[in-house]
Structure 1
């Protein structure tokens, strides 16, 4: 696990975008795992800027959403399929048919989950998975207690997660109780994971998953077992890390050829 501490969200977005741009230039049909929420927005903003200003080409890129609410009607403004379109894919030249998401509106959720796993495998697996982290340590919607080997499935949201997400809706009562999410085992299959976090509200979760034990009580801690997990955070999110000085030193002295 590589931990990189930067001044703020703009710098975080730029560095994460560097990694994605490098991947796309080397592999134009790269498969990218797309997260929603506030954390990835600086990445998407920077990628859109590079598309508009530098001609970064996404026409062959394939995208797989990390999760989706269960029960929202197709086309709902806050469905994650719509959020990803609005915040990212409609701002670049990704072909709409190349953007996939788990089906939260089907009557056969288990079948849809297996279909999603099959679709990821058929695409050759995810090359780079973008992640945020919840205040309780969840990644995707793998809430505390999730199996570290789990695959795409339905999950019940923790009340804290519903409260955290209520800002996107008019009222807490509108936040669904259930989601379909890639499992921790699915996420761990990605060849590169880039997790971004900023703000003091994420400091406890960052400390717990970076430096605490690997435990289902903190789902993001499974990333300690990932062969290539890049954690990019700001000073506020890093505030409770005992090893912050070591992480800064390692990044400052990293060989340039290694990239992100």
Structure 2
């Protein structure tokens, strides 16, 4: 596990550099995406769009995969991860080819949808380069803390603190999704390269717990200590409790 500490305004460029290296080595890479606040707050997707426009990134051979989706809303719902990716990244890329692979949270048979998505991942031979964020409770993708974590894609309950909130697109609290489809440990551990970003002093405790504490399913990110190729991108605030 490699740690890189930088200012927040350097994060987007550093992650874009890592992505650029990946696509030069393997233009047909399977790229794992992430939603949440980090890609937008730190300008990560915006930097990819800028570099593609400048001819520095070419996604023509790449395949995009998202590891999770909210359950109970259609893909075209304003709060779906499908919509998030379309609005913030995919519709802006000129060299992207083909549809992204994202679980369908509106599927009538969720168990079958989990199996279908697992087959998609296996057909792709899993992900070459996975971008991840880190939740305040240690979740990665939407793998929430639990006594045990499934190996394959599964339906997960969302911790209350992580449910979408404050959206005008939900009329009542009951409409806010409380479950997701998310990848399991197989997909995480078979990702050939993982880049995780966590910034802000409010992440300092969970960063230290996840990456220098015991490996436990109660802190899902701690399982990345067992992965052979993880780069953790931090700022000074999130890194302040690490013994680097």
| TM-score, with length taken from structure 2 | 0.92
SS at structure 2 position matched to 1:40: helix
> Within 5 Å, which residues of 2 pair with 1:49-88?
49-88=50-89
What is the aligned partner in structure 2 of residue 256 from structure 1?
none
Aligned length: 240
Unaligned runs of at least 5 residues, structure 2:
none
SS at structure 1 position matched to 2:194: strand
Q: Does 1:132 align with 2:130?
A: no
What is the aligned partner in structure 2 of residue 40 from structure 1?
39
Residue 54 of structure 1 deviates from its aligned partner by: 3.0
For the residues of structure 2 that align with 1:117 and 1:147, how far apart are their CA atoms?
19
Cα 1:58–1:168 change in 2 (3 A) is farther
Q: CA contact under 8 A between 2:75 and 2:106: conserved in structure 1?
A: yes
Residue 26 of structure 1 deviates from its aligned partner by: 2.0
Which deviates more, 231-240 or 96-105?
A: 96-105
Residue 216 of structure 1 deviates from its aligned partner by: 0.9
Q: CA contact under 8 A between 1:130 and 1:195: conserved in structure 2?
A: yes
Q: Does 1:6 align with 2:6?
A: yes
For the residues of structure 2 that align with 1:12 and 1:184, how far apart are their CA atoms?
27
CA RMSD of aligned residues (A): 1.7
Q: CA contact under 8 A between 1:78 and 1:169: conserved in structure 2?
A: no
> Within 5 Å, which residues of 2 pair with 1:122-161?
122-145=123-146, 147-148=148-149, 150-161=151-162
Residue 175 of structure 1 deviates from its aligned partner by: 2.4
Which deviates more, 17-26 or 134-143?
A: 17-26
Q: CA contact under 8 A between 1:36 and 1:84: conserved in structure 2?
A: yes
Cα 1:134–1:44 change in 2 (3 A) is same
SS at structure 2 position matched to 1:237: helix
Higher helix share: 1
Q: CA contact under 8 A between 1:147 and 1:184: conserved in structure 2?
A: no
Residue 118 of structure 1 deviates from its aligned partner by: 0.8
For the residues of structure 1 that align with 2:34 and 2:49, how far apart are their CA atoms?
16
Residue 44 of structure 1 deviates from its aligned partner by: 1.1
What is the aligned partner in structure 1 of residue 28 from structure 2?
29
What is the aligned partner in structure 1 of residue 197 from structure 2?
196
> Within 5 Å, which residues of 2 pair with 1:96-107?
97-107=98-108
Residue 167 of structure 1 deviates from its aligned partner by: 4.2
For the residues of structure 2 that align with 1:137 and 1:75, how far apart are their CA atoms?
29
For the residues of structure 2 that align with 1:55 and 1:76, how far apart are their CA atoms?
32
Residue 189 of structure 1 deviates from its aligned partner by: 0.9
SS at structure 2 position matched to 1:97: coil
Cα 1:78–1:219 change in 2 (3 A) is same
> Within 5 Å, which residues of 2 pair with 1:149-228?
150-162=151-163, 165-168=164-167, 173=173, 174-228=175-229
SS at structure 1 position matched to 2:4: strand
Residue 169 of structure 1 deviates from its aligned partner by: 5.3
For the residues of structure 2 that align with 1:176 and 1:153, how far apart are their CA atoms?
16
Unaligned runs of at least 5 residues, structure 1:
247-260
